[in-house]
Structure formats: C-alpha cells, structure tokens
Amino acid sequence: MSAILLWLSAAFALLVPWGGRVVEALLRRGIGKNIRADEPSSHKAKSGTATMGGLYFLAGIAGLAVVQAALGHAEVLLPLGAMVGFALLGAYDDLQGLKDVSGVGWLARSKFAWQWILGLILALIFFWARSSHPLILPLSGRTVELGWWSVPIAALLLVFAANAVNLTDGLDGLAGGTSAIAFAAYGLLAALEGQKGLAAFAAISVGALLAFLWYNVHPARLFMGDTGSQALGAGLAALALLSGHWLLFPLIGLIFVAEALSVMAQVGYFKYTRRKYGEGRRILRMSPLHYHFELGGWSEVQVTLRFWLIALIAAALGIAWGKGGL
C-alpha cells in the first residue's frame, strides 16, 4: 500500500507545477473552449478557457505507466492503451469544436462509429493479451470465466464509459473529481486482489487528476475537453474489466451512469412526445443531470461537491460489495 501511495504522490508532485505553463501554452495556440449554445447562459463567461487539458494529465499518466511497465508491470499498458486510443478520438472532437463557433464539434453518428471500432479492437487486444477473462461476482466473490463473451462486454463498457464521463464533464471539477474517486476505488479493489500493477496505475491516475483539479476547480483555468473525458472513461472501463470487477461499474461510476441515463431519458421522452402530441416535452429542465440541478437553483460549486459526496458513498459501497461485504 505504501508503494501505491508513493506513485500517487509522485504523479501529483511531478505534474502540478506544470499546470500554469500548460494553460499559457494552450491559450497561445488559440485552444480555448467554445461554449455550446444549448448550455446554461451562465456558462457563456467560460468561453475562451483553455481546453484539451486531458493532454496534461494523460502525459503524466503515460510517462509513469511506462516506468511501471519497465519495472515489471506490463499489464498497465492495457489501460494506458485504452486511454490513449480514446484520447485521440477525443482530441479530434475537440479540434472540430474549436473550428465550430457553436462548439458542437464532431457529429455523433461518425463519432460513435469510430468509438465502436476502437472499442472492438481494444476488446480483442484485452482478450488475446490475457490467459483468463474473469468476472468476480459482487458480494459472493465467486469468479466466473467469461471466455469470448468478454469481447462484446469489453467493447460495450469501453464505449459506454467514454461517453458517460464525457457527458459528466460540464461543470468545473465535476468529471475530474468523480473520476479520481472511481479510479481510487478500482485501485483499492485491485490492491486487495493482489493486482499490484493495476493498483499502481490507478494510483498515478488519481495523482494526475488531483494535479489537474488544482487548475480545474471553480473557477476553472483549464478544461479537460473530450481528449480527457473520453480517455478517463476508457481508462476506468479498462480497470473495471481487467480487475474482474466490471459489474460494480454502475455503482462505483454511479454519477457517470446517472448522467448518461438522464440524457437517454430526456432524448427518448422528447422524441416520443413529439410523435404522440406533436411537440417534444422534457423530463428534466436540461440534460445532462448536472444542468437540471444548476437550473433548479444550485450553484455550480454545490452541484459539483454534492455529486462528489454521492460518488464517494457509491465508491465505498462498491468496494464493500466487491470484497463480499454489505
């Protein structure tokens, strides 16, 4: 456990001094966020904030993960590969958004197609790189071998998690903080299972995210962009799959799941009521879920901190259930 905490501390200490320079470098290159027209009007003031900050924490994670691999933990290259792959898709999305003054970026149809292609490729790599593909059942702790079933499950979870974290990234510190909590939970589960490499990878991810949050908490100077959010979702999904505890993702990643489901419910209900009544109706004031509460009178900081608290409780329950407790 002491080694894991050292990895976390090293990631934070190495990255946090560079955040200000990263912000300046991004702004010099005109990489500032275009706020979407469908976001709350209060967010217009954030226009021009440095974005694509996922490059900042991903660089730290990648550098330290390579060191870990050189020290004998080659398994860390699997979640790192997932993060880098989805970060590339996210970077393309971010660059498209910079060209579009409305901030929309890459069209969803094309983006989803490429995400599924990448998800399937990664799922196959995960399958061929490992001799076993276990599922650890919550509460009982019993292990089930999935075999080839692990491939479609892995692809689905990678794509879902990448988009779920992306949807959560709408308020200062929200996606970064909840992701750090989820990485910490999976890191602890991996450590308890004796998966030292995965635990160390989770630790450097937490440390790098804490360094990012130094500049991302309200009022944010740096946004992660799709570059960061898609990478984080893929990294969390990879840890869940490789640790065998992927059934716990809906609990450990409760905020991400709730955000994604809120969008699905809002869009589905709007389309249904438009067909039935001739006009679309909404369940929420605005989706994703964090905007519903913000428009309901909660401040941005209140929404973020309360979602962090829910994420902490959910992660704690996930760890307990993962080890057979209640």
User: pLDDT digit string (tens) for 69-101?
Assistant: 999 999 999 999 999 999 999 999 999 888 866
Section 108-133 average pLDDT: 93
Is the predicted pLDDT of residue 103 greater than 60, yes or no?
no
Q: What are phi and psi of 222, to 5 degrees?
A: -145, 130
Cα–Cα nearest to 56, from 175, 184, 176, 228: 228
CA 72 to chain centre: 26
The H or E element that residue 136 is part of is strand 134-136
Higher pLDDT, 36 or 246: 246
Annotate 291-313 with b (16+ C-beta within 10 A) or e (fewer): bbbbeeeeebeebbbebbeebee
Section 273-279 average pLDDT: 90
The answer, as to whether pTM is greater than 0.85, is yes
- Angle in degrees, CA 177, 116, 188, rounded to 5: 35
Alpha-carbon distance 152 to 187, whole Å?
24
Amino acid at 237: A
Q: Please enumerate in sequence order all residues whose Cβ is within 8 A of that of 121, keeping only pairs 6 or more positions apart, or say none.
A: 85
Work out the burial of residue 277: count CB atoms within 10 Å of its CB; fewer than 13 is exposed, 13-18 middle, 19 or more buried.
exposed
Q: What are phi and psi of 143, to 5 degrees?
A: -105, 135
Instruction: Supply the mean pLDDT for the chain.
Output: 93
**pLDDT for the residue 326:** 46
What confidence tier does 181 reach under pLDDT thresholds 50, 70, 90?
Answer: very high
Cα–Cα nearest to 40, from 301, 293, 267: 293
Q: Which two tokens stand for residue 189?
A: 């589960």
Section 110-120 average pLDDT: 94
Which range among 5-9, 106-110, 160-164, 216-220 shows the weakest confidence by mean pLDDT? 106-110
Is the predicted pLDDT of residue 325 greater than 70, yes or no?
no
Section 286-309 average pLDDT: 96
Q: What are phi and psi of 77, to 5 degrees?
A: -70, -20
Amino acid at 175: A
Higher pLDDT, 110 or 202: 202
Alpha helices in the chain, H assignment, sequence order: 2-15, 19-28, 54-70, 77-99, 108-129, 150-168, 174-192, 196-216, 225-243, 249-252, 254-277, 289-295, 300-322
Is the predicted pLDDT of residue 324 greater than 80, yes or no?
no
* DSSP letter assigned to residue 145: E
